[in-house]
Structure 1
Amino acid sequence: KDFIYKANQVTLTCLQLINVERQNEMINIRFIRAVVESYIVSRWIDEELHRVQSYLHSSTSASLIKKT
């Protein structure tokens, strides 16, 4: 829950920064870029995990996860 709360805070901060930029003020777009990239990677990891779990039998997934 703490992670989700912090992720929501980061998202809110990004949206506030975008709003500030729309007011013609300078912002650090590297921060926003890093946040967006982290969300993309997180989503990709979730999709890969789901894909792997759908193909693997439950008896083999634990041993394969330990190897990575």
Structure 2
Amino acid sequence: MQVILACFQLIKAQRQNQVIDTRLIGRIVQSYVDLAFEENLFASHNSHEITWPTLKIYKDYFEIQFLQETKEFYCHEAANFLAHNAITEYLKKKVVQRLDEEVHRIQSYLHSSTLKPFVKIVEEVLIRDQLEAIYTEAKALLIYEKYSDK
């Protein structure tokens, strides 16, 4: 468990623009994936059946908590950014930038199966949960645009 917490601390540091050795996280992730493969090999030898490797160990011991940590991180970041910036800046600078960074992070050192549930969570936190603020500011911008055209 300590190893996983260390991974999450490294990922958080990277999200805060610190340089980290991503190879460490990649090796740990790969070891969880490999453990599932070895578990399946052992099971198939004992049951004389061919089984496909699963990602159960990776998902149970890493991905679930990673997704929760990600959700918490972006909830705090969105609230802090929006407290000091306009929603237009938030959409241009934070949402697009963070989605790009996170997709790159997954492609670099996490398992590719994490991408779909991850993007769903980040979109929920950064966009869906902010829809009221987005709508309110967009409405104000449209009204301002209407009056400035006269």
Give your verdict on TM over 0.5: yes
> Among residues 8, 25, 44, which one is paired with 2:18 in the alignment?
25
Q: Deviations over 1:40-68 (max 9, x none)?
A: 11111011111221128xxxxxxxxxxxx
Q: What TM-score, normalized by structure 2, do the two folds share?
A: 0.31
Question: What are the residue-to-residue correspondences of 1:6-45 with 2, within 5 Å?
Answer: 8-45=1-38
Q: What TM-score, normalized by structure 1, do the two folds share?
A: 0.64
Q: Distance in 2 between matches of 1:26 and 1:49?
A: 39
Q: Which residue of 2 aligns with 1:55?
A: 48
What's the % identity of the aligned pairs?
35
Q: Which runs of 5+ in 2 are unaligned?
A: 50-150
Q: How many residues align?
A: 49
Q: Which runs of 5+ in 1 are unaligned?
A: 1-7, 57-68
Question: Which runs of at least 4 in structure 1 moved beyond 4 Å after TM superposition?
Answer: none
Secondary structure class of the residue paired with 1:24: coil
Larger gyration radius, structure 1 or structure 2: 2
